[in-house]
Structures are given as C-alpha cells and as structure tokens.
Amino acid sequence: MRIQYGAELAVNPFSDEWYARVFAPCPPDCICGDFTPDYSLLREAEIRHVLRIAPRARFILIFRDPIERDYSHARMLTGWKETVSEESLLEAIESPDLLGRGDYRLLLEKWENLIPPAQLMTCFFDDIARRPSMLLDRIAAFLNIAERPFEWVGCDQKVLEGTWVPMPASVRSILFERHRATLAYMADRFPEPCEEWAQRYADCID
C-alpha cells in the first residue's frame, strides 16, 4: 500500500493538492512537517503563498557558521571524497547552488518580515552537537508538544559520521572575506553562539 501511494505521488505533477496528499496518511492528531535547506531560499511571494495555504504553520530556521556551511556544501558538491584537490574546492565554493545560502542577514530579514514571531523559531547547528536534548526540548515547546514526557534517547550519538578533511587556507580566506559582514551581523544579533563563530577566524583579520 505504501509503495503504491509513494509511486502515485512520484508521477503526479507538483501542486498544492499534491503537497497536501503527502501528509494525508498521518493521523488527525499528528503534527506533520518536512524540512530542507532549500526552503530558506523561498522568495517572498512563495512564503506568502505558504502562509495562505497553511496559516498556522510554524517555521524553524537552523543557522550554522556560514564558513563551515559553505565548506560542507563544497565537500558535498565534490562527492564527499576523503581526498579532493584544492582546485576542485575553489571551484565548488563558487557554485550557484552554494552562493546566497550564507547571506543570513537577508534570509532573516525576509522571514522575520513575513512570519509572525510566534510562528518562527531560530536556532543553531552548534546546539545539535553540544546540547541536543535542550534543542529538542525547545523545538517541542515551540510546536506545543512540550507537555509530552520525551526522553531523547540516543540524541547525542553521531549517525553516519563523515570523514573530516581540513579546509585549505585558500578556501578559508575566500570564505572569510565572503562572510565577514555576516559573521559580524550574527555576532551582534545572537552573541551565543555566533560570537564564537567570528573568533574562529581571528587569524584572517588583517
């Protein structure tokens, strides 16, 4: 049954009705949602459309050190290889698919101008690694499911951990210049943890 249902979704054209069908199998008392970094790039008209069809929807923006975010994205574009040339990484960080995702000031202003404060939550990638239970408690409270007795079993365990590859100095320098203003803006808006982001690149400041 699930295979047939998934197959029908796969062949039907995208529409508001199609999207509603994605959640159709969920019980009436279930809180449903989905996620992708691509949603952060929605245009204002598209966000307004989402609010028209789902006026009570809640939105969670998770921000990461923009330099680490771009580097991780570049690593993905180069195939997550254990060894990758500096030239390939320099090319990847200029990819149209990567550019623009780290302009946090623009993203925040767009979403905060359109979404009521009670329906928008801002949190940070750092808390996924350092305080996962606290972050999950915050998300549960934001979604009004905090009254349920959650035990976040295993939330502090890494899953499918990738191979760490040091960031080349040339890539680091370019990304710092790209995000210098963003780092300052985020440190001013969110001292915890964003002041730490800026401190990581103190050696890049002339």
- The pLDDT mean for the chain works out to 89
Instruction: Return the CATH number at 45.
Output: 3.40.50.300
Torsion of CA 116, 33, 127, 150, to 10 degrees: 110
Element (H, E) at 124: strand 120-124
Spatial separation of the C-alpha atoms in residues 88 and 61, rounded to whole Å: 30
- Residue 30: per-residue pLDDT: 83
- The answer on pLDDT for 7 being more than 60 is no
- The answer on pLDDT for 3 being more than 70 is no
- Pick from 36, 47, 194: nearest CA to 112: 47
- The torsion region of residue 60 among left (phi > 0), alpha (psi -120 to 50) and beta comes to beta
State whether 41 and 127 are in the same domain.
Answer: yes
State whether 123 and 164 are in the same domain.
Answer: yes
Q: Give the structural domain span for 40.
A: 35-204
User: How many domains, in total, are found in the chain?
Assistant: 2
Spatial separation of the C-alpha atoms in residues 21 and 55, rounded to whole Å: 18
Residue 163's pLDDT band (cuts 50, 70, 90): confident
State whether 10 and 47 are in the same domain.
Answer: no
- Residue 108: per-residue pLDDT: 96
State whether 15 and 63 are in the same domain.
Answer: no
pTM, entire model: 0.89
State whether 14 and 71 are in the same domain.
Answer: no
